Amino acid sequence: MQISKEQLSEYARLIVRTGANVQPGQVVQLSIAVEQHEFAAMVTEEAYLAGAKKVNLNWLSDGQDRLHYRYADEETLAVTLPWEEEKLRQMTKDLPVRIFIESEDPDALAGLDPEKLSHVRQRRSAVAKPYRDAIDGKHQWCIAAMPSEPWAKKCFPDKPAEEALSLLWDAVRRTVRIGEKSDAVAAWKEHTSRISEKSTWLNNQHFRMLRYESSNGTDFTVELIPEASWEGAGSTNQENGAYYIPNMPTEEIFTSPMAGKCEGKLVAVKPLSYNGQLIEDFSITFENGRAVSCSAAKGLELLEKMLHMDEGACMLGEVALVPKESPVNRCGFLFYNTLFDENACCHFAVGQGFKEVLPDGDNLTTEEATAKGINDSIIHVDFMVGAEDLSITGFRADGSSVPIFRNGTWAE
C-alpha cells in the first residue's frame, strides 16, 4: 500500500491536535480496530506529545464481534458486567478526550440476526446512557477514519485488494485535506472558519422556513424552530474551553427543523445504505410533517419499514447544508459510512433531532426538547438531496426571502 509514513503521521497529528485538541494533563481514550495497531501507536504518541497524562486503548474487532453475535446468547451479550460499568463510571471522573478511529467493514454484521443485534445494543446503551449524558459537553471527542481492506473492497469491488485500499486511503486523505496545502492543520483553520462564517450568517438571518427546488422533482418546504441555531464544524468543551472538531471530515452546517412541519417531495440523489442494504433512486413525500408515501427503484420495502420504526421515524430530525464542491462529493463514490456520505451534499435525516441546537439544549429532558419541536425517535438516518441544480430559499417571519443555495452551492 502506498501510504507514506509522513502522511500517516500528519494525519495522526491532525486528529490529535485539530480534531480532539488534546490539552496537557488530559486522559485520552482511543477506540480503534486491532488491525490498525500501527496507526494506533502513531495516534498514541501524538497524544503524549500533546501532553496527554495517559492514553487508554479500547481495541475493537469486527471479527470478534461477529463471533460473539453468532455463538453467545442474547442474554449474555446484553448484560453490562460490573467491571464494564466501573469503566464507564471512571469516565465521568476522568472526562477523557475520546478519539474513535472507524475502519469497519460495512458488511461486518451482515446476515446476523438483526433482532438480536438491536436488543443487545439497546440494553447495553441503556446502561451506558447516564454515564454518557454525565460527560456530555464536558469532554472533547473526535471521530475519524482509517481505511481497512474489507471496507476498501466494499467501495471498489472490482479492484484488487491492495489497489482498493490505496484508492480509499487517497480519498480519505483528500477529504481530510492532507497533502492539499503544505500543512493540514492550516488548511483546517481556513476550512472551519469558512463554515463558522456561514453558520453565523444563517443564524443572523432568522429564517423560519426553507424552500427546496430542483429539476429532479424535489419541491419541498420545511419550517425551522425559531430559537434553534445552525451549527457546524466545531464544538467547545465547556469545562476547559478547548475547541474541537467532532467529525473529520466535516462539511455540513446543520440544525433540527420543527418536527411535524414540512410539506412536499424530496428526491434522493444518492443511494442510501441502511442496515447493510441499499435503497436506490428513491423519493419521500411529506404531508403535515409526516412521510406519507415513498417510491424506490430498489429497497422500497426496507425504506417503508425504516419510516415506520416508531412514531418519530416518519418525521425529520435534521436539515443540513453542504455545497456540491465538497471533497467527499468530488470523490464520486459511496463510502458506505455516514461520516463520509453525509458530508457529500445537502441532506435531511428522518428520526432523532439534536437538542443541542436549542439554547441550553444539553440540559433539557427529551420531553422538554420534544415540546420545542425537536423530533424524538430511535433512528436517525441521513439521505442526500443535494442535486446539481438544487436551489434553497430562506423565508423570514415577515415573509421576506433570501437565496441560500443556487445550483447546488452557496448563492454567494
Rounded CA gap, 412 and 404, in Å?
8
Which bin fits 246, alpha (ψ -120 to 50), beta or left (φ > 0)?
alpha
Which bin fits 47, alpha (ψ -120 to 50), beta or left (φ > 0)?
alpha
First to last CA, the chain: 41
Using CB positions, name the residue nearest to Zn ion.
320
Judged by CB, which is closer to Zn ion: 104, or 342? 342
Judged by CB, which is closer to Zn ion: 342, or 376? 342
Question: Running DSSP on this structure, what letter comes out for residue 263?
Answer: E
Positions in 326-385 near Zn ion (CB under 5 A): 342
Residue 164: CB minimum distance to Zn ion, A: 27
Among 30, 320, 321, 346, contact with Zn ion (rule: CB under 5 A): 320
Judged by CB, which is closer to Zn ion: 19, or 96? 19
The DSSP secondary structure of 57-93, one letter per residue, reads: EEEE-HHHHHHHHHHS-HHHHHPPPHHHHHHHHHHHH
**Number of shown-chain residues binding Zn ion (CB under 5 A):** 3
Q: Which window, 54-62, 87-95, 138-146, 249-257, contacts Zn ion (CB under 5 A)?
A: 249-257
Give CA torsion, residues 193, 256, 275, 307, to 10 deg. Answer: -160
Question: Running DSSP on this structure, what letter comes out for residue 312?
Answer: G
Q: How many separate helices (H) and strands (E) can be counted in the chain? A: 13, 20
Q: Which window, 46-54, 62-70, 120-128, 314-322, contacts Zn ion (CB under 5 A)?
A: 314-322
Judged by CB, which is closer to Zn ion: 383, or 395? 383
223 makes contact with Zn ion (CB under 5 A)? no
272 makes contact with Zn ion (CB under 5 A)? no
105 makes contact with Zn ion (CB under 5 A)? no
Judged by CB, which is closer to Zn ion: 169, or 212? 212
Residue 348: CB minimum distance to Zn ion, A: 9
Count of other CB atoms within 10 angstroms of residue 112: 15
Q: Which window, 68-76, 203-211, 242-250, 319-327, contacts Zn ion (CB under 5 A)?
A: 319-327
Q: Is the distance from CB of 232 to CB of 320 less than 8 angstroms?
A: no
Give CA torsion, residues 330, 333, 336, 338, to 10 deg. Answer: 20
Judged by CB, which is closer to Zn ion: 96, or 373? 373
Residue 382: CB minimum distance to Zn ion, A: 5
Q: Which window, 230-238, 250-258, 355-363, 396-404, contacts Zn ion (CB under 5 A)?
A: 250-258
Judged by CB, which is closer to Zn ion: 164, or 319? 319
Rounded CA gap, 163 and 239, in Å?
44
Residues that bind Zn ion (CB under 5 A): 252, 320, 342
